[in-house]
Chain A
Amino acid sequence: MNTAPHLFDPETIMSFLDGELPAAQSDAIRAHLSQCAQCAALVSKLQESSSALAKWRISETPLGSSTQKHISVAIQQFQRRNSMPLASFFRIVKPRYILVAITLILAATFWAQQSPSRISLPEQEMRAKLKKESAQDPHYPDEARKKGIQGIVVLHLLVAKDGSVKKLDVVSGAPSLAKSSADTVRNWKFEKTLVSGKPVEVETTVEISFTLYP
């Protein structure tokens, strides 16, 4: 046998011996081995290693009655579980996934309560946040003045996260005074209100006083 140029690395030759290669490559290696003494020697070494280990045999173990009993009990438990209602559902959805989902929902609910998206603030506090450029007083309507109408208009505001008036409701007050108040207050702009660093909507009540003889 002559020594031919090595076409395959030693690990590939080992893979061939272990039956890990496709048929075409195995044929090529077989042909190479018939011509290459060095690779044939490698094959012998690998085979000797496997043969030596193959002599390490383990005596069979008898099947004990305790093992049979334990396995029989486990199979009965398994069959009971398999015949449970919704068994096919729980086969796909593991109970621990359901537990995780419930935990997440509870955590999200708790978080939502801890970080409300809307809060209520007293008028005084909101007036301090009122931007000066938008802080116009309502006009006293001439008709109301002529008729001697005076009093207090109470407005309920919902201030958006950006500080603009999102919703306005008249709670009480003379209609003519209320209209003038609403038209003015609707254009008020407030500083953003932050809770835990995030802007929130604010509910507040504003009172506007119209007096003929101050």
Chain B
Amino acid sequence: MLAFSHGDSSAFDELFFRYHQRIFAFLRRRIADQSRAEELTQEAFLALIRAAFRYQPRALFRTYMYAIAFKILRDDRRKTTFRSFFFRSNEKSELAPGPVKNSDEILWLRQALGRLDVTDREILLLREFEQLTYLEIADLLKLPLNTVRSRLFRARLPLREQLEPAGGASAVPLGELS
């Protein structure tokens, strides 16, 4: 990123190659609409380019990139809430079920994750899918490290109780969880 911020555009290609699918997956797990997730992925990289001019390597680039994606997601949710509140738009709700390929699997995963507290769920997803460390999660969500640890524990155990015995689940489009 530092190389790109000093004008090496090939360095951006490398970053894009490494993070494009990861950021898309991060957003897709949190957004029901696939095309919206694709748009926001593009927005995240455009925001990265705009921010490159003043980039300072204060943290791992991974944390920096997810922080941008997280901010884009939060802004999008705010806009969606605003629109639905004032204009009763017909846009698909983030909680509406997505395309159903295996309804049972969707149901139990949605139910299990949906029962978690919003922050607990976010911590769990960041740990399990984005593979962030506790410290990175704490930085991203502006929470104390111990809070991240205890909330992660609180999210994992009940999830295990609620999930069906392992087997069968694959490629579940759970974007509706947000």
Contact across chains for B7 and A75 when beta carbons are under 8 A apart:
no
Chain B residues with CB under 8 Å of A132's CB are none
In the complex where A49-B156, A55-B170, A58-B29 touch, is A78 in contact with B53 (Cβ < 8 A)?
Answer: yes
Closest-by-CB residue of B relative to A20 is B134
In the complex where A75-B9, A78-B49 touch, is A64 in contact with B156 (Cβ < 8 A)?
Answer: no
Does more than half of chain B's interface fall in helix, strand or loop, or is it mixed? helix
A112 at the interface (CB under 8 A from B): no
Chain A binder among B60-68, B86-94, B159-167? B159-167
B82 at the interface (CB under 8 A from A): no
Number of chain B interface residues as a range: 35 or more
Contact across chains for B153 and A11 when beta carbons are under 8 A apart:
yes
Contact across chains for B53 and A11 when beta carbons are under 8 A apart:
no
How distant is the Cα of A57 from the Cα of B159 in the complex, in angstroms?
A: 18
In the complex where A18-B134, A56-B109, A63-B20 touch, is A82 in contact with B153 (Cβ < 8 A)?
Answer: no
B38 at the interface (CB under 8 A from A): yes
Total A-B contacts with CB atoms under 8 angstroms apart: 106
How distant is the Cα of A35 from the Cα of B127 in the complex, in angstroms?
A: 28
A146 at the interface (CB under 8 A from B): no
Closest-by-CB residue of A relative to B112 is A52
How distant is the Cα of A59 from the Cα of B170 in the complex, in angstroms?
A: 11
Number of chain A interface residues as a range: 35 or more
Question: What is the minimal beta-carbon distance from B18 to any residue of chain A, in angstroms?
Answer: 13
Could you list some 6 contacts between A and B, CB below 8 A? A46-B160, A49-B160, A55-B169, A58-B171, A61-B24, A67-B45
Question: Which B residues are closer than 8 A to A by beta carbons?
Answer: 6-7, 9, 12, 16, 20-21, 24-25, 28-29, 34, 37-38, 41-42, 45-46, 49-50, 52-54, 109, 124, 127-129, 133-134, 149-150, 152-153, 156-157, 159-160, 163, 166, 169-172, 174
Question: Which A residues are closer than 8 A to B by beta carbons?
Answer: 10-11, 14-15, 18, 20, 45-46, 48-61, 63-64, 66-67, 70-71, 74-75, 77-79, 81-83, 87, 90-91, 94
A61-B41, A70-B46 given. 19 additional CB < 8 A pairs? A11-B153, A14-B149, A14-B156, A20-B134, A45-B160, A49-B163, A53-B124, A53-B128, A55-B172, A56-B29, A59-B171, A64-B38, A66-B42, A78-B49, A78-B50, A79-B9, A82-B6, A82-B53, A94-B54
